Amino acid sequence: MSQEDVEIVRRAIDANRSGPPDHTVEVAVALADPDFEFRSRLTSVEGATYRGHDGLRTYFEDMADAWQEWRIEVAEMTAVRPDAVLADVTFRATGKSGVDVELRSSAVWLLSGGRIVELHAYPSQREALEAAGLSE
């Protein structure tokens, strides 16, 4: 199941970019469990938590409010447990002000039954692995 989970996460990351809402938001919603929980580092200085499919839609609205365009590039993605995928990514965006931004982070994606149930982003891989109960 871990390779299938990695592919699900890859599809979700690919959907997390600026573009037509029907391709971005609804692709992500289809991959998420109805009780999905996501802690984002991108939508506010103090972070934000989004819950459920409506929360995921709100996340994309918040992203569109903050950024002219954005994309996430995967540096490394690995199944770290039977139910968890670790993704090291770089977020690249242009803010509404025209300023370019680059942010590296690591995220732990928890999956169950082929759906994403939790996504938590961290400033470093060490923090992400610790949160998943693993060490580097």
| pLDDT at 84 (0 to 100) | 93
Q: How confident is the model at residue 17 (pLDDT cuts 50, 70, 90)?
A: confident
| pLDDT at 59 (0 to 100) | 87
* Mean pLDDT score, 107-131: 92
| pLDDT at 136 (0 to 100) | 55
pLDDT tens digit sequence for 41-76: 766 556 678 999 999 998 888 888 888 999 999 999
Q: For residue 95, which of 63, 47, 49, 73 has the smallest C-alpha distance?
A: 63
Q: List, in order of start, the domains of the chain with CATH numbers.
A: 2-131 (3.10.450.50)
Is the pLDDT at 126 greater than 70, yes or no?
yes
Is the pLDDT at 134 greater than 90, yes or no?
no
| pLDDT at 23 (0 to 100) | 73
- Strand 84-95 relative to strand 100-112, pairing: antiparallel
Distance CA 132, CA 130 (A): 5
The pair of three-digit structure tokens given for residue 38, joined into one six-digit string: 């996501």
Higher pLDDT: 52 or 2? It is 52
Distance CA 116, CA 121 (A): 14
pLDDT tens digit sequence for 68-118: 999 999 999 999 989 999 999 999 999 999 999 999 999 999 999 999 999
DSSP letters spanning 45-79: TT-EEEEHHHHHHHHHHHHHHHEEEEEEEEEEEEE
